[in-house]
Structure 1
Amino acid sequence: MATERHRSDTDPGDTDPAGRDLDAGAEPHPDEGGGAERFVPRSRSLRTLGAAAESCHGCELYRNATQTVFGSGPRTARVLLLGEQPGDQEDRLGEPFVGPAGHLLDRALAEAGLPERDVYRTNAVKHFRWRPPPGGGRRRIHQSPTQGQITACRPWLLAEVEAVRPAVIVALGASAGKSLFGPSFRVGDARGSVRTWSAEPEAASAAGIAVMTTIHPSAVLRADDREAAFDGFVADLRRAAEVLK
Protein backbone atom coordinates (compact mmCIF):
# COMPACT_ATOMS: atom_id res chain seq x y z
CA MET A 1 0.00 0.00 0.00
CA ALA A 2 1.35 3.43 -0.88
CA THR A 3 2.15 5.84 1.89
CA GLU A 4 -0.78 8.19 2.50
CA ARG A 5 0.96 11.45 3.25
CA HIS A 6 -1.53 14.27 3.85
CA ARG A 7 0.82 15.40 6.53
CA SER A 8 1.00 26.30 29.22
CA ASP A 9 -2.75 25.59 27.93
CA THR A 10 -4.67 28.70 26.96
CA ASP A 11 -8.38 29.25 27.49
CA PRO A 12 -10.49 29.17 24.32
CA GLY A 13 -11.86 32.62 25.08
CA ASP A 14 -8.60 34.46 24.25
CA THR A 15 -8.92 37.88 22.60
CA ASP A 16 -6.42 40.08 20.80
CA PRO A 17 -5.75 43.70 21.88
CA ALA A 18 -8.77 44.84 19.85
CA GLY A 19 -11.01 42.53 21.85
CA ARG A 20 -11.77 40.10 19.03
CA ASP A 21 -12.34 36.42 19.78
CA LEU A 22 -9.29 34.72 18.29
CA ASP A 23 -11.03 31.38 17.94
CA ALA A 24 -13.96 32.93 16.09
CA GLY A 25 -12.52 33.31 12.57
CA ALA A 26 -15.08 32.21 10.00
CA GLU A 27 -18.75 32.01 10.82
CA PRO A 28 -19.42 29.03 13.10
CA HIS A 29 -21.15 26.02 11.60
CA PRO A 30 -24.67 25.66 13.03
CA ASP A 31 -23.78 22.16 14.23
CA GLU A 32 -20.40 23.14 15.75
CA GLY A 33 -19.06 21.51 18.89
CA GLY A 34 -19.71 18.30 20.74
CA GLY A 35 -16.44 16.65 19.77
CA ALA A 36 -15.29 14.74 16.70
CA GLU A 37 -16.89 11.37 17.39
CA ARG A 38 -19.92 11.93 15.15
CA PHE A 39 -17.67 12.86 12.21
CA VAL A 40 -15.53 9.71 12.39
CA PRO A 41 -16.66 7.08 9.85
CA ARG A 42 -16.79 3.39 10.65
CA SER A 43 -14.22 2.69 7.96
CA ARG A 44 -10.65 2.40 9.20
CA SER A 45 -9.12 3.25 5.84
CA LEU A 46 -6.67 6.09 6.45
CA ARG A 47 -7.75 7.69 3.20
CA THR A 48 -11.41 7.60 4.24
CA LEU A 49 -10.61 8.92 7.71
CA GLY A 50 -8.54 11.77 6.31
CA ALA A 51 -11.28 12.77 3.89
CA ALA A 52 -13.91 12.72 6.64
CA ALA A 53 -11.74 14.82 8.95
CA GLU A 54 -11.80 17.65 6.43
CA SER A 55 -15.44 18.26 7.32
CA CYS A 56 -14.98 18.11 11.10
CA HIS A 57 -16.31 20.98 13.18
CA GLY A 58 -16.37 19.15 16.50
CA CYS A 59 -14.64 22.14 18.11
CA GLU A 60 -14.09 25.75 17.07
CA LEU A 61 -10.52 25.42 15.76
CA TYR A 62 -11.57 24.74 12.17
CA ARG A 63 -12.75 28.35 11.89
CA ASN A 64 -9.28 29.93 11.82
CA ALA A 65 -7.35 27.05 10.25
CA THR A 66 -6.52 26.90 6.55
CA GLN A 67 -7.35 23.20 6.45
CA THR A 68 -7.47 19.97 8.43
CA VAL A 69 -4.05 18.36 8.76
CA PHE A 70 -4.53 14.61 9.14
CA GLY A 71 -1.90 11.98 9.78
CA SER A 72 0.67 10.78 7.25
CA GLY A 73 2.45 7.50 6.76
CA PRO A 74 1.92 3.84 5.89
CA ARG A 75 -0.81 1.80 7.51
CA THR A 76 1.85 -0.84 8.18
CA ALA A 77 3.93 1.53 10.34
CA ARG A 78 5.09 0.06 13.63
CA VAL A 79 5.69 3.46 15.24
CA LEU A 80 3.07 6.19 15.62
CA LEU A 81 4.59 9.60 16.31
CA LEU A 82 2.10 11.81 18.12
CA GLY A 83 2.67 15.56 18.23
CA GLU A 84 0.58 18.47 19.48
CA GLN A 85 -1.02 20.19 16.48
CA PRO A 86 -0.11 21.47 13.01
CA GLY A 87 2.11 24.54 12.92
CA ASP A 88 2.00 27.44 10.48
CA GLN A 89 3.68 25.61 7.60
CA GLU A 90 1.76 22.39 8.23
CA ASP A 91 -1.49 24.36 8.16
CA ARG A 92 -0.59 25.90 4.81
CA LEU A 93 0.73 22.71 3.20
CA GLY A 94 -1.71 20.19 4.70
CA GLU A 95 0.88 17.72 5.99
CA PRO A 96 2.22 17.08 9.52
CA PHE A 97 5.81 17.78 10.56
CA VAL A 98 6.98 19.69 7.48
CA GLY A 99 8.24 22.82 9.26
CA PRO A 100 11.56 23.33 11.08
CA ALA A 101 10.58 20.95 13.90
CA GLY A 102 9.65 18.34 11.32
CA HIS A 103 13.02 18.61 9.59
CA LEU A 104 14.76 18.18 12.94
CA LEU A 105 12.53 15.16 13.64
CA ASP A 106 13.55 13.59 10.32
CA ARG A 107 17.21 13.90 11.26
CA ALA A 108 16.61 12.49 14.74
CA LEU A 109 14.67 9.50 13.39
CA ALA A 110 17.50 8.69 11.00
CA GLU A 111 20.06 8.80 13.82
CA ALA A 112 17.82 6.65 16.02
CA GLY A 113 17.52 4.00 13.32
CA LEU A 114 13.79 4.42 12.67
CA PRO A 115 13.16 4.25 8.91
CA GLU A 116 10.37 6.23 7.26
CA ARG A 117 8.54 3.02 6.29
CA ASP A 118 8.06 2.26 10.00
CA VAL A 119 6.66 5.66 10.98
CA TYR A 120 3.17 7.17 10.94
CA ARG A 121 2.99 10.84 11.96
CA THR A 122 0.00 12.62 13.39
CA ASN A 123 -1.07 15.19 15.97
CA ALA A 124 -3.40 15.23 18.95
CA VAL A 125 -5.28 18.14 17.36
CA LYS A 126 -5.85 18.36 13.60
CA HIS A 127 -6.26 22.14 13.22
CA PHE A 128 -3.74 24.93 13.85
CA ARG A 129 -4.56 27.10 16.87
CA TRP A 130 -2.97 30.53 16.59
CA ARG A 131 -3.36 34.21 17.36
CA PRO A 132 -2.19 37.39 15.63
CA PRO A 133 0.71 39.31 17.18
CA PRO A 134 -0.01 42.18 19.57
CA GLY A 135 -0.53 45.33 17.56
CA GLY A 136 -1.47 43.44 14.42
CA GLY A 137 0.53 41.89 11.62
CA ARG A 138 0.45 38.85 9.36
CA ARG A 139 2.47 36.46 11.53
CA ARG A 140 0.46 33.69 13.17
CA ILE A 141 1.57 32.98 16.73
CA HIS A 142 1.19 29.40 17.91
CA GLN A 143 -1.20 28.75 20.80
CA SER A 144 -1.25 25.37 22.53
CA PRO A 145 -4.64 23.65 22.36
CA THR A 146 -6.74 23.50 25.50
CA GLN A 147 -7.57 20.20 27.15
CA GLY A 148 -11.12 20.60 25.86
CA GLN A 149 -9.86 20.89 22.28
CA ILE A 150 -7.55 17.91 22.75
CA THR A 151 -10.45 15.84 24.08
CA ALA A 152 -12.75 16.97 21.27
CA CYS A 153 -10.24 15.78 18.65
CA ARG A 154 -9.36 12.51 20.41
CA PRO A 155 -11.77 10.31 18.39
CA TRP A 156 -9.64 10.94 15.29
CA LEU A 157 -6.54 9.76 17.13
CA LEU A 158 -8.30 6.63 18.37
CA ALA A 159 -9.41 5.85 14.81
CA GLU A 160 -5.85 6.31 13.53
CA VAL A 161 -4.46 4.03 16.22
CA GLU A 162 -7.06 1.40 15.35
CA ALA A 163 -6.21 1.69 11.65
CA VAL A 164 -2.42 1.57 12.02
CA ARG A 165 -2.17 -0.71 15.08
CA PRO A 166 1.36 0.44 15.95
CA ALA A 167 3.66 -1.50 18.24
CA VAL A 168 4.71 1.71 19.98
CA ILE A 169 3.41 5.27 20.23
CA VAL A 170 5.93 8.07 20.78
CA ALA A 171 4.25 10.94 22.62
CA LEU A 172 6.03 14.14 21.58
CA GLY A 173 5.36 16.64 24.34
CA ALA A 174 2.64 17.48 26.84
CA SER A 175 -0.37 17.80 24.55
CA ALA A 176 0.35 14.42 22.99
CA GLY A 177 0.61 12.83 26.43
CA LYS A 178 -2.59 14.50 27.61
CA SER A 179 -4.47 13.14 24.61
CA LEU A 180 -3.53 9.64 25.75
CA PHE A 181 -3.42 9.83 29.54
CA GLY A 182 -5.49 12.88 30.47
CA PRO A 183 -4.89 16.38 31.84
CA SER A 184 -2.65 15.33 34.74
CA PHE A 185 0.07 14.07 32.36
CA ARG A 186 3.49 15.73 32.74
CA VAL A 187 6.38 15.20 30.33
CA GLY A 188 8.97 15.58 33.08
CA ASP A 189 7.49 12.67 35.01
CA ALA A 190 7.21 10.33 32.03
CA ARG A 191 10.09 11.21 29.71
CA GLY A 192 12.18 8.27 28.58
CA SER A 193 9.96 5.69 30.22
CA VAL A 194 7.78 3.14 28.47
CA ARG A 195 4.28 2.54 29.76
CA THR A 196 1.26 0.70 28.44
CA TRP A 197 -1.80 2.49 27.08
CA SER A 198 -5.15 1.23 25.89
CA ALA A 199 -8.06 3.18 24.42
CA GLU A 200 -10.35 1.00 26.55
CA PRO A 201 -8.36 0.25 29.72
CA GLU A 202 -11.43 -1.16 31.44
CA ALA A 203 -11.84 -3.89 28.81
CA ALA A 204 -10.42 -7.23 29.91
CA SER A 205 -9.32 -7.94 26.34
CA ALA A 206 -7.36 -4.69 26.00
CA ALA A 207 -3.78 -5.72 25.29
CA GLY A 208 -2.37 -2.21 25.38
CA ILE A 209 0.24 -0.41 23.29
CA ALA A 210 3.68 0.66 24.47
CA VAL A 211 3.99 4.44 24.82
CA MET A 212 7.35 6.19 25.07
CA THR A 213 7.35 9.87 26.04
CA THR A 214 9.82 12.51 24.96
CA ILE A 215 9.87 16.23 24.26
CA HIS A 216 8.43 17.79 21.13
CA PRO A 217 11.12 18.53 18.51
CA SER A 218 10.23 22.22 18.72
CA ALA A 219 11.56 22.13 22.30
CA VAL A 220 14.95 21.11 20.90
CA LEU A 221 14.90 24.17 18.63
CA ARG A 222 14.17 26.41 21.63
CA ALA A 223 16.84 24.88 23.88
CA ASP A 224 19.86 26.93 24.96
CA ASP A 225 22.12 23.97 24.19
CA ARG A 226 20.57 22.55 21.04
CA GLU A 227 23.24 19.90 20.56
CA ALA A 228 22.68 18.40 24.01
CA ALA A 229 18.91 18.63 23.61
CA PHE A 230 19.11 16.91 20.23
CA ASP A 231 21.29 14.12 21.62
CA GLY A 232 18.79 13.52 24.42
CA PHE A 233 15.93 13.50 21.95
CA VAL A 234 17.68 10.91 19.78
CA ALA A 235 18.39 8.78 22.86
CA ASP A 236 14.66 8.76 23.66
CA LEU A 237 13.79 7.72 20.11
CA ARG A 238 16.32 4.90 20.34
CA ARG A 239 14.41 3.59 23.36
CA ALA A 240 11.31 3.49 21.20
CA ALA A 241 13.26 1.61 18.52
CA GLU A 242 14.33 -0.94 21.14
CA VAL A 243 10.68 -1.72 21.88
CA LEU A 244 10.37 -2.97 18.30
CA LYS A 245 13.14 -5.54 18.70
Structure 2
Amino acid sequence: MVRQGGKDIEEEPPATLEEIAQAIGACRRCPIGCNGTRAVPGEGPARTRLMVVGEQPGDKEEQAGRPFVGPAGRLLDAHLARAGLDRARLYLTNAVKHFKFVPRGKRRLHQSPTAGEIDICRWWLDSERRLLRPQIILALGASAGRAFLARTPAVGKERGAPMELADGTQLWLTVHPSYLLRLKDEVRAREEERFQSDLRGLASSLG
Protein backbone atom coordinates (compact mmCIF):
# COMPACT_ATOMS: atom_id res chain seq x y z
CA MET A 1 0.00 0.00 0.00
CA VAL A 2 1.24 3.49 -0.83
CA ARG A 3 -0.01 7.00 -0.17
CA GLN A 4 -1.02 9.10 -3.15
CA GLY A 5 -2.60 12.49 -2.80
CA GLY A 6 -3.66 11.76 0.78
CA LYS A 7 -5.24 8.42 -0.14
CA ASP A 8 -4.17 4.83 0.40
CA ILE A 9 -3.50 3.06 -2.91
CA GLU A 10 -3.41 -0.75 -2.96
CA GLU A 11 -0.74 -1.05 -5.61
CA GLU A 12 2.91 -2.07 -5.76
CA PRO A 13 5.25 0.58 -7.14
CA PRO A 14 6.47 -0.14 -10.70
CA ALA A 15 9.68 -2.15 -10.90
CA THR A 16 11.11 -0.49 -14.03
CA LEU A 17 10.95 2.77 -15.92
CA GLU A 18 9.24 0.90 -18.74
CA GLU A 19 6.48 -0.18 -16.36
CA ILE A 20 6.00 3.44 -15.30
CA ALA A 21 5.77 4.55 -18.93
CA GLN A 22 3.06 1.99 -19.60
CA ALA A 23 1.15 2.54 -16.36
CA ILE A 24 0.86 6.33 -16.51
CA GLY A 25 -1.04 6.00 -19.76
CA ALA A 26 -3.82 4.23 -17.91
CA CYS A 27 -3.76 6.45 -14.81
CA ARG A 28 -7.11 8.11 -14.10
CA ARG A 29 -6.59 9.17 -10.49
CA CYS A 30 -6.97 12.88 -11.20
CA PRO A 31 -8.97 14.91 -13.73
CA ILE A 32 -5.93 15.56 -15.93
CA GLY A 33 -5.54 11.85 -16.56
CA CYS A 34 -9.15 11.74 -17.71
CA ASN A 35 -8.95 14.53 -20.30
CA GLY A 36 -8.10 12.29 -23.24
CA THR A 37 -4.48 13.35 -23.71
CA ARG A 38 -1.54 10.98 -24.00
CA ALA A 39 0.65 10.58 -20.94
CA VAL A 40 4.28 11.59 -21.48
CA PRO A 41 6.88 9.41 -19.73
CA GLY A 42 10.31 10.49 -18.63
CA GLU A 43 13.28 10.13 -20.94
CA GLY A 44 16.91 9.29 -20.26
CA PRO A 45 19.26 6.62 -18.94
CA ALA A 46 18.16 4.25 -16.20
CA ARG A 47 21.05 5.41 -14.04
CA THR A 48 21.84 9.09 -13.88
CA ARG A 49 23.35 11.57 -11.47
CA LEU A 50 20.96 14.36 -12.49
CA MET A 51 17.18 14.26 -12.79
CA VAL A 52 15.49 17.30 -14.40
CA VAL A 53 11.82 17.81 -13.55
CA GLY A 54 9.39 20.25 -15.17
CA GLU A 55 5.75 21.00 -14.42
CA GLN A 56 3.87 19.00 -17.05
CA PRO A 57 4.10 18.17 -20.76
CA GLY A 58 2.93 20.88 -23.11
CA ASP A 59 1.08 20.72 -26.42
CA LYS A 60 4.16 19.71 -28.45
CA GLU A 61 5.27 17.17 -25.85
CA GLU A 62 1.83 15.54 -25.74
CA GLN A 63 1.81 15.23 -29.53
CA ALA A 64 5.33 13.77 -29.65
CA GLY A 65 5.04 11.65 -26.50
CA ARG A 66 8.40 13.00 -25.27
CA PRO A 67 9.33 15.58 -22.61
CA PHE A 68 10.90 18.96 -23.40
CA VAL A 69 10.69 18.92 -27.20
CA GLY A 70 8.82 22.21 -27.67
CA PRO A 71 10.17 25.79 -27.56
CA ALA A 72 10.86 25.65 -23.80
CA GLY A 73 12.67 22.34 -24.26
CA ARG A 74 14.89 23.75 -27.00
CA LEU A 75 15.78 26.70 -24.79
CA LEU A 76 16.54 24.32 -21.92
CA ASP A 77 18.78 22.23 -24.19
CA ALA A 78 20.76 25.31 -25.18
CA HIS A 79 21.32 26.35 -21.57
CA LEU A 80 22.19 22.82 -20.46
CA ALA A 81 24.82 22.59 -23.19
CA ARG A 82 26.21 26.01 -22.28
CA ALA A 83 26.58 24.83 -18.67
CA GLY A 84 28.39 21.68 -19.82
CA LEU A 85 25.47 19.34 -19.11
CA ASP A 86 24.75 16.69 -21.74
CA ARG A 87 21.01 16.06 -22.13
CA ALA A 88 21.68 12.51 -23.29
CA ARG A 89 23.14 11.70 -19.86
CA LEU A 90 20.24 13.23 -17.89
CA TYR A 91 16.77 11.97 -17.07
CA LEU A 92 14.05 14.47 -17.96
CA THR A 93 10.49 14.14 -16.72
CA ASN A 94 7.58 16.14 -15.34
CA ALA A 95 5.82 16.41 -12.00
CA VAL A 96 2.48 15.81 -13.78
CA LYS A 97 2.42 13.28 -16.60
CA HIS A 98 -0.57 14.49 -18.66
CA PHE A 99 -1.14 17.82 -20.41
CA LYS A 100 -3.67 20.06 -18.67
CA PHE A 101 -5.16 22.64 -21.02
CA VAL A 102 -8.15 24.78 -21.89
CA PRO A 103 -9.37 24.75 -25.53
CA ARG A 104 -9.36 28.04 -27.44
CA GLY A 105 -10.67 27.32 -30.90
CA LYS A 106 -8.14 24.98 -32.50
CA ARG A 107 -5.51 25.79 -29.90
CA ARG A 108 -4.87 24.11 -26.55
CA LEU A 109 -3.66 26.60 -23.96
CA HIS A 110 -1.59 25.47 -21.00
CA GLN A 111 -3.36 25.42 -17.64
CA SER A 112 -1.36 25.00 -14.46
CA PRO A 113 -2.07 21.87 -12.40
CA THR A 114 -3.51 22.34 -8.94
CA ALA A 115 -1.60 21.47 -5.78
CA GLY A 116 -3.85 18.44 -5.34
CA GLU A 117 -3.14 17.19 -8.87
CA ILE A 118 0.60 17.58 -8.33
CA ASP A 119 0.36 15.68 -5.04
CA ILE A 120 -1.58 12.82 -6.65
CA CYS A 121 0.91 12.48 -9.50
CA ARG A 122 3.83 12.59 -7.09
CA TRP A 123 3.55 8.81 -6.65
CA TRP A 124 4.79 8.31 -10.22
CA LEU A 125 7.61 10.80 -9.73
CA ASP A 126 8.65 9.11 -6.50
CA SER A 127 8.69 5.80 -8.37
CA GLU A 128 11.02 7.26 -11.02
CA ARG A 129 13.26 8.72 -8.36
CA ARG A 130 13.43 5.44 -6.44
CA LEU A 131 14.61 3.62 -9.56
CA LEU A 132 17.01 6.31 -10.80
CA ARG A 133 18.58 7.26 -7.45
CA PRO A 134 19.95 10.58 -8.76
CA GLN A 135 22.53 12.56 -6.82
CA ILE A 136 20.90 15.87 -7.76
CA ILE A 137 17.39 16.88 -8.83
CA LEU A 138 16.75 20.09 -10.76
CA ALA A 139 13.17 21.32 -10.29
CA LEU A 140 12.05 23.78 -12.95
CA GLY A 141 9.42 26.06 -11.45
CA ALA A 142 7.19 26.06 -8.39
CA SER A 143 5.02 23.12 -9.46
CA ALA A 144 8.04 20.87 -9.85
CA GLY A 145 9.41 22.12 -6.54
CA ARG A 146 6.15 21.25 -4.79
CA ALA A 147 6.43 17.66 -5.95
CA PHE A 148 9.52 17.26 -3.75
CA LEU A 149 8.92 19.71 -0.92
CA ALA A 150 5.19 19.07 -0.28
CA ARG A 151 4.76 22.85 -0.36
CA THR A 152 4.79 25.43 -3.11
CA PRO A 153 8.19 27.12 -2.94
CA ALA A 154 8.99 30.77 -3.60
CA VAL A 155 11.25 30.25 -6.61
CA GLY A 156 12.66 33.78 -6.57
CA LYS A 157 13.91 33.38 -3.00
CA GLU A 158 14.92 29.72 -3.01
CA ARG A 159 16.51 29.29 -6.43
CA GLY A 160 20.14 28.68 -7.25
CA ALA A 161 21.30 26.90 -4.09
CA PRO A 162 21.06 23.26 -3.00
CA MET A 163 18.44 22.03 -0.56
CA GLU A 164 18.90 18.62 1.02
CA LEU A 165 15.99 16.20 0.85
CA ALA A 166 15.34 13.56 3.50
CA ASP A 167 17.32 10.88 1.66
CA GLY A 168 20.32 13.16 1.14
CA THR A 169 19.56 14.04 -2.48
CA GLN A 170 20.31 17.64 -3.44
CA LEU A 171 17.35 19.59 -4.79
CA TRP A 172 18.08 22.66 -6.89
CA LEU A 173 15.25 25.02 -7.78
CA THR A 174 15.09 27.48 -10.66
CA VAL A 175 12.54 28.91 -13.07
CA HIS A 176 10.92 26.93 -15.86
CA PRO A 177 12.30 27.91 -19.28
CA SER A 178 8.76 28.67 -20.47
CA TYR A 179 8.90 31.66 -18.11
CA LEU A 180 11.94 32.97 -19.99
CA LEU A 181 10.13 32.68 -23.31
CA ARG A 182 7.45 35.09 -22.10
CA LEU A 183 9.97 37.86 -21.38
CA LYS A 184 11.21 40.55 -23.75
CA ASP A 185 14.52 42.17 -24.66
CA GLU A 186 16.73 43.25 -21.75
CA VAL A 187 14.57 41.58 -19.13
CA ARG A 188 14.80 38.26 -20.93
CA ALA A 189 18.56 38.59 -21.39
CA ARG A 190 19.01 39.32 -17.69
CA GLU A 191 16.80 36.44 -16.59
CA GLU A 192 18.48 34.01 -18.97
CA GLU A 193 21.81 34.90 -17.38
CA ARG A 194 20.32 34.18 -13.95
CA PHE A 195 19.04 30.86 -15.26
CA GLN A 196 22.45 30.05 -16.66
CA SER A 197 24.06 30.98 -13.34
CA ASP A 198 21.76 28.52 -11.56
CA LEU A 199 22.76 25.76 -13.98
CA ARG A 200 26.45 26.53 -13.62
CA GLY A 201 26.16 26.28 -9.86
CA LEU A 202 24.41 22.93 -10.18
CA ALA A 203 27.02 21.69 -12.68
CA SER A 204 29.80 22.68 -10.28
CA SER A 205 28.13 20.75 -7.47
CA LEU A 206 27.71 17.75 -9.76
CA GLY A 207 31.41 17.85 -10.46
TM-score under structure 2 length normalisation: 0.91
Bigger drift between 83-92 and 115-124 goes to 115-124
- Which residue of the partner structure matches residue 170 of structure 1? 138
- Which residue of the partner structure matches residue 222 of structure 1? 182
**Structure 1: how far apart are the matches of 2:179 and 2:78?**
15
**Structure 1: how far apart are the matches of 2:182 and 2:53?**
19
Q: Give the conservation status (yes or no) of the 8 Å contact 1:113–1:241.
A: yes
**Structure 1: how far apart are the matches of 2:11 and 2:21?**
9
AA matched with 1:54: G
Q: Give the conservation status (yes or no) of the 8 Å contact 1:40–1:49.
A: no
- Which residue of the partner structure matches residue 118 of structure 2? 150
**Structure 2: how far apart are the matches of 1:227 and 1:84?**
23
Candidates 120, 128, 132, aligned match of 2:91: 120
Counting helix residues as a fraction of each chain, which structure ranks higher?
Answer: 2
Q: Give the conservation status (yes or no) of the 8 Å contact 2:5–2:121.
A: no
Q: Give the conservation status (yes or no) of the 8 Å contact 1:35–1:153.
A: no
**Structure 2: how far apart are the matches of 1:103 and 1:221?**
11
Quick one: structure 1 residues 145 and 192, their matched pair in 2 at CA, closer, same or farther if it must change by over 3 Å? same
Offset, 1:122:
0.6
**Structure 2: how far apart are the matches of 1:164 and 1:139?**
35
2:47 alignment partner, SS class: coil
**Structure 1: how far apart are the matches of 2:38 and 2:200?**
33
Q: Deviations over 1:91-110 (max 9, x none)?
A: 11111101000000000000
- Which residue of the partner structure matches residue 68 of structure 1? 39
Candidates 50, 54, 58, aligned match of 1:83: 54
**Structure 1: how far apart are the matches of 2:11 and 2:39?**
14
Number of equivalenced pairs:
202
1:170 alignment partner, SS class: strand
Offset, 1:242:
1.4
Offset, 1:37:
7.4
Quick one: structure 1 residues 67 and 184, their matched pair in 2 at CA, closer, same or farther if it must change by over 3 Å? closer
| Residue 101 of structure 2 is aligned to residue 141 of structure 1 | no
| Residue 158 of structure 2 is aligned to residue 233 of structure 1 | no
- Which residue of the partner structure matches residue 169 of structure 2? 209
Q: Give the conservation status (yes or no) of the 8 Å contact 1:172–1:217.
A: yes
Candidates 147, 154, 178, aligned match of 1:186: 154
User: Which residues of structure 1 form unaligned runs of 5+?
Assistant: 1-32, 199-206
AA matched with 1:229: E
**CA root-mean-square deviation:** 1.9
Q: Deviations over 1:15-45 (max 9, x none)?
A: xxxxxxxxxxxxxxxxxx9789748643431
**Structure 1: how far apart are the matches of 2:9 and 2:25?**
13
Q: Give the conservation status (yes or no) of the 8 Å contact 1:36–1:57.
A: no
1:62 alignment partner, SS class: helix
**Structure 2: how far apart are the matches of 1:37 and 1:168?**
29
Q: Give the conservation status (yes or no) of the 8 Å contact 2:55–2:143.
A: yes
User: Which residues of structure 2 form unaligned runs of 5+?
Assistant: none
Structure 1 runs of 4+ aligned residues shifted over 6 Å read: 33-37
Quick one: structure 1 residues 121 and 40, their matched pair in 2 at CA, closer, same or farther if it must change by over 3 Å? farther
